[in-house]
A and B are shown apart, each in its own frame.
Chain A
Amino acid sequence: MPLLRTIWGCDFRALPVFCVLCLSFPAWGGDQTASLQNRLAKQELLLAKTPSLYFIVYLKSKMIVLKSRGMILQEWKAQSIRAWGDAPPLGPLTLEKKSTLFPPKRTKIMPAADEEEAATFELDALELKDMPSRFTLFLSGGIRLHVRPKARGLFPRLGNIGHLLGWNLWVPLKNLSFRLRKKHFAAFDISLEKKEDGQAVYWALPEGIKGLVFPL
Chain B
Amino acid sequence: MNKKKTARALVLLLAAVLVAVEAVAIIVAWPKQAAEAAAGAETNDQKAAARLDAETAALRKRIGALAPKAAHIIIDSARNTLTLKTGKEVRLQAVVSCGSGSILEEPGGKRTWIFDTPRGEFQVKSKVVDPTWVKPDWAFIEEGKEIPKKQEERLEAGVLGDYALGFGDGYFIHGTLYSRLLGRSVTHGCVRVGDKDLKAIFQAASIGTRIYIY
Q: Could you list 23 A-B pairs, sorted by A, with CB under 8 Å?
A: A14-B19, A26-B30, A26-B31, A32-B33, A32-B43, A34-B41, A34-B56, A35-B40, A38-B59, A41-B56, A51-B120, A52-B120, A88-B34, A90-B37, A106-B103, A109-B104, A125-B102, A126-B100, A127-B185, A175-B28, A176-B21, A204-B78, A215-B34
Least distance between A7 CB and chain B CB atoms (Å): 10
Stretch at the interface among A65-73, A92-100, A140-148, A151-159: A65-73
Q: Tell me if A34 and B52 are in contact (CB < 8 A).
A: yes
Instruction: Verify if B171 is at the interface (C-beta below 8 Å from A).
Output: no
Least distance between A208 CB and chain B CB atoms (Å): 10
Q: Tell me if B28 and A48 are in contact (CB < 8 A).
A: no
Q: Which of A45, A69, A107, A204 contacts B103 (CB 8 A)?
A: A107
Q: Which of A32, A84, A90, A203 contacts B29 (CB 8 A)?
A: A84
Least distance between A6 CB and chain B CB atoms (Å): 13
Least distance between A52 CB and chain B CB atoms (Å): 6
Most buried by A among B24, B31, B41, B76: B31
Interface members, chain B 11-25 (any A CB < 8 Å): 12, 16, 19, 21-25
Residues of A within 8 A of B (CB): 8, 10, 14-15, 18, 21-22, 26-32, 34-39, 41-42, 44-45, 48-49, 51-53, 66, 68-71, 73-74, 83-90, 106-109, 111-115, 117-118, 123-128, 168-169, 171-173, 175-176, 179, 200, 203-204, 206, 215
Q: Tell me if B103 and A109 are in contact (CB < 8 A).
A: yes
Cα A15 to Cα B143 in complex, Å, equals 68
Q: Tell me if B102 and A109 are in contact (CB < 8 A).
A: yes
By beta carbon, the residue of chain A nearest B105 is A108
How many chain B residues touch A (CB < 8 A): the figure is 65
- Which residues of A sit under 8 angstroms from B26, Cβ to Cβ? 18, 21-22, 168, 172
Cα A84 to Cα B49 in complex, Å, equals 30
- Which residues of B sit under 8 angstroms from A70, Cβ to Cβ? 63-64, 66-67
- Which residues of B sit under 8 angstroms from A10, Cβ to Cβ? 12, 16
Q: Which of A71, A84, A90, A113 contacts B31 (CB 8 A)?
A: A84
